[in-house]
Amino acid sequence: VQLQASGGGLVQAGGSLRLSCAASGRTFSGYTLAWFRQATGKEREFVAALKSTNSNGFYADSVKGRFTISRDNARSTLYLQMNNLQPEDTAVYYCTASRTIIHSNLRVPSAYDAWGQGTLVTVSS
């Protein structure tokens, strides 16, 4: 599957953005999908994941209650609604997918098979 993320930009603290990740190439509905982010000088970190068989998302503690991950299988698109953004949310956000990942590896970047190119989110204070 090929992934392309979009929707990043510059926003003030407290604002909102919605990221999108368009998929092509394989059956979208069978994939576990996730968002990771990487700030300058830091390692890539897990943000949220959504299994193919579960409508409930899994979230990093730092974004729980502010971010919502969702998918539209008919449009082969993954979303990340980000509310109450804070400067520490500034990062390049990546979407990723896996058909075979197990639950215990949801937060592990190397467990995913395909990655989008990333979209930059900048939150000003």
Please state, in angstroms and as integers, the Cα–Cα distance from residue 9 to each residue in 38, 82, 96, following that order: 15, 12, 20
* Token reading at 97: 């997918």
Q: Write out the chain's pLDDT in tens, 125 residues.
A: 899 999 999 999 999 999 999 998 777 888 999 999 999 999 999 999 999 876 789 999 999 999 999 999 889 999 999 999 999 999 999 999 999 999 999 999 999 999 999 999 999 99
